[in-house]
A and B are shown apart, each in its own frame.
Chain A
């Protein structure tokens, strides 16, 4: 069972009062409790079950502008006392940093908690196994699916309390139900794997098992017997599971920590055109039941909605207290990053998008870590499907795609098929003229 707020509060009080007694001027603490249960099935047979109970505490103490942190999963009082001692000792000899402080009290979250982030539904292991077996059954009904890499179902429940010496103390329960199915297709000596994945706060919102299985199978079969194409400049269509990655890159490039240090290609771009004028990017933390929704960030600051890009123009950064001070800005509640980050829908339908040019390459998967936030260089391995005259023609693999994000962002056109499946979501994306490395 996850621990209740009273238990978490007790742990927080022990640490906060001990650190005050030892001379810290300020302190903040996070106490977390979670229970997760995961089932793995492979080839329709139970492969593994895992149950984890996690407890943890993270304490940060301040002495004026000096700061130190400790974290532990051992919540015995004797251990906590020892760790607080250690934290205070380290804090005393750590150099001052003028930007260190607790967050602005006025920005502390206070309000209603009505976002529906916790579903108390509990599935027995039997129910979990049945769900995932049904998904695999459906995948195997496709005769080119010969094997699975394993499919799984997970249920996670957690509770936390965040408190600080300025009087903030709040927390809440969240839940997450996750299922994935990863299958292997085979034909004429070619073997490919692909997957489908669903993760929601409410059990009733996740994909139906049959859909999970059939989508995974369809992905894996469509990759079979790929060709390698010649190096060329070509426009790309990014499938929704890839197009959202550009939003994550954008988010890390406008984090106040990167802005303050100057280690981002979007430094000094505030109020400038970063994307083409039809594009809008929002970050909203208040969408009911959504994966990215939260009431406050890891400092206790209430989440406000941000229109990060309006008509292509950069409006705001993602700001926390420490880095905000460095750039003379107040926190906007993004110490834990973005919430529900998304591109607003474009004006074209999916079908219009894939018919917009005679020849397009549809990217379904990228591999590698080839994004350089500092200068915007982008170069990754990829696979996908060639589109000729608006029709999907043959799978393509072992290629690379490369460009610079400054240009890529300006050349994006979006379809109108946005869905809120993850915490970061994008419609299908068309990017004009990127370089494909192949034969």
Chain B
């Protein structure tokens, strides 16, 4: 039974009639209905600066034939509006004709509970928590001059109606707790940012005074950076810490392995399946099935159950990440990577939780082996040009390594590398695989979706570090 159409003049039967009639002569497509509630509360400069509650309801109607996609979306859920969309789709595809592929895998996968994280904690206790975070962070040291803390919770319910009346649904909770601390000492200002989250209630993340650890970590990073010295510039060895630094994997190879870029042959990886693209011992997966993780989904936004997709195995490129459209055009199956930011957006192959599996080396060995290099522990954002393969990311916590020892912290260095070649430069893979704390959002073609990353410590032979010290 559909619940998202309930307050409209559309029954499932009526909707299905329009959907089936529109999609019968197409290769694929669906009606995607979404009801999202979200709440953001921000404490800034000692005050609750804003409390925003958003309620968004709408549909996206998609018809696909060959490699042409027609899409129409609206937040007016009615028979009239859906018929207009149908006319619009038909007129775009009037010269094309296809055969509807009604095959879609079924699942009973339950990776998170059907809860509403917004309602599960009272407004009063959320405000109290933010005030406590603010006070606690400011009490850590008199050098703390500014604190911003925020709580974000979302409940996204989706329904997918395919031609023939098949209905698939998923109810997705998501929360995030963020902290940013600015420290000022000796005329210098630095910030530290940290956050946690995933697809559970706030309280799961707040157990054992965990919120204090979030504050501690943000303060620690800011306080470390206040002592930092200018970053060196040039090529050198890089040791990456475990966990969040895996955004290197996400940027360096993840995007380049998304099906659309490879079907279009614009990715630097498009002709490398079966070839060696990384050092021996490097295995990278994209896993949508880990319980309660930010990047996990029971079904993707086309209704395909998510799975654990092996991308690179022991250095060899195995698979791309696919949605239904790109899979069909490349004669393969969807890997459950079809995602969209909301009903306002078309589906694209997107990452879920992208993870490099652990190896046998210790972080200590890696650092010991470096004469001159840097040890990068945490990062801000990254970006990639999938065609040339060049990627960058910005260190938010990094240290120099001199003669096998970790030295002084260094300032905001940028690392730049070449995706297809940088994984071949991996010299050691650590035994300390860790997932990130649950804060990642990936942007592609203007759409942001929650993702996860994970990796062990890594030693990379050669990367270009961008700094000001020659």
Chain B at the A interface: mostly helix, strand, loop or mixed? strand
**Smallest distance from the beta carbon of A278 to chain B beta carbons, Å?**
25
Q: Which residues of A contact B416 (CB under 8 A)?
A: 368, 381, 398-400, 437
Determine whether A364 belongs to the interface, using a CB cutoff of 8 Å to chain B.
no
A-chain residues with CB within 8 Å of residue B85 when the two chains form the complex: 51
CA distance A402 to B387 in the complex (A): 24
Judging by beta carbons under 8 Å apart, are A379 and B413 in contact? yes
For window 389-432 of chain B, which residues contact chain A by CB distance below 8 Å?
390-394, 411-414, 416-418
Q: Is A191's beta carbon under 8 Å from chain B?
A: yes
In the complex, which range does the number of interface residues on chain A fall in? 35 or more
In the assembly, what is the distance between CA of A238 and CA of B417, in Å?
22
Interface 0/1 of B94-111, CB less than 8 Å to A: 000000000000000000
Q: Which residue from A74, A193, A369, A437 sits with its C-beta under 8 Å from B387?
A: A193
Interface size on B, residues (CB 8 A): 78
Among listed B41-49, B160-168, B280-288, B308-316, interface-contacting one? B41-49
Contact of A54 among B52, B268, B344 (CB under 8 A): B344
Asked if A120 lies at the interface with its beta carbon under 8 angstroms from chain B, I say: no
Check if B52 sits within 8 Å of A71, measured CB to CB: yes
Contact, CB under 8 Å: B390 / A383: yes
Q: Is A104 positioned at the interface, with any CB of B under 8 Å from its CB?
A: no
Which residues of the partner chain B approach A68 to less than 8 Å between Cβ atoms?
A: 51-53
> Does residue B441 face the partner (Cβ distance < 8 Å to A)?
no
Within 8 Å of chain A (Cβ to Cβ): is B307? Answer: no
Among residues 118 to 136 in chain A, which have CB atoms less than 8 Å away from a CB atom of chain B?
A: 125
Closest to A264 in B: B189
Nearest chain A CB to B243's CB is how many angstroms away? Answer: 19
A48/B69 in contact, CB under 8 A: yes
**Is B54 an interface position by the 8 A CB rule?**
yes
Most B CB contacts (10 A, CB to CB) among A52, A83, A125 go to A52
A379 and B45 form a contact (CB under 8 A): no
Interface bits B432-449 vs A (CB < 8 Å: 1, else 0): 000000000000000000
- A-B residue pairs in contact (CB < 8 Å), sample of 18: A49-B70, A50-B71, A69-B52, A69-B53, A72-B54, A76-B7, A93-B123, A93-B127, A226-B388, A262-B145, A326-B45, A368-B416, A370-B380, A381-B414, A436-B233, A437-B466, A438-B234, A439-B234
Q: Residues of A with Cβ closer than 8 Å to B?
A: 42, 45-56, 67-76, 78-79, 83, 86-87, 89-90, 93-95, 97, 99, 125, 147, 149-150, 184, 191-193, 223, 226, 228, 231-233, 260-263, 326, 367-370, 372, 374-375, 377, 379-381, 383, 397-404, 435-439
Would you list the 6 A-B pairs with minimal beta carbon distance, nearest first? A400-B466, A381-B392, A437-B233, A368-B392, A193-B387, A437-B466
Further 13 A-B residue pairs, CB within 8 A, beyond A53-B76, A367-B392, A437-B233: A68-B52, A74-B57, A74-B75, A79-B57, A97-B47, A125-B92, A147-B265, A149-B264, A191-B268, A381-B383, A403-B468, A437-B464, A438-B233
